[in-house]
Amino acid sequence: MPLISSAPTPPQVVDAILDALSAITRAPDLRPTLDALLIEGFNRLPPAYYRAVLNFEQLVISQGYPLLQ
């Protein structure tokens, strides 16, 4: 499941969020909680991987839905 932030989120904030998420997966005391939530980890993916979301947004706009929420 992708984690997507608001478009104007500064890159350094996105990096800080991703660093924090990565850190929690290495915290032994959080492992039971992560296991209960079925979270094994987080992967950093290049922006191109999110192109499908942008393509979907363009599709719904073309169908008359001006805002994808």
- The stretch 8-24 carries a mean pLDDT of 92
Q: Identify the residue whose tokens are 């996105």.
A: 14
**Residues whose CB is less than 8 angstroms from the CB of residue 41 and which lie 6 or more positions away in sequence, other chains included:** 22, 25
Number of domains the chain contains: 1
Domain contains 55: yes
- 0.95 exceeded by pTM: no
Domain assignment of residue 54, given as a range: 11-62
Tokens representing residue 51 in the block:
């192109």
Domain contains 1: no
DSSP code string of the chain: ------TT--HHHHHHHHHHHHHHHT-GGGHHHHHHTT--------GGGGHHHHHHHHHHHHTT-----
Domain contains 21: yes
Residue 66: is its pLDDT beyond 80? Answer: no
The whole-chain average pLDDT of the chain stands at: 87
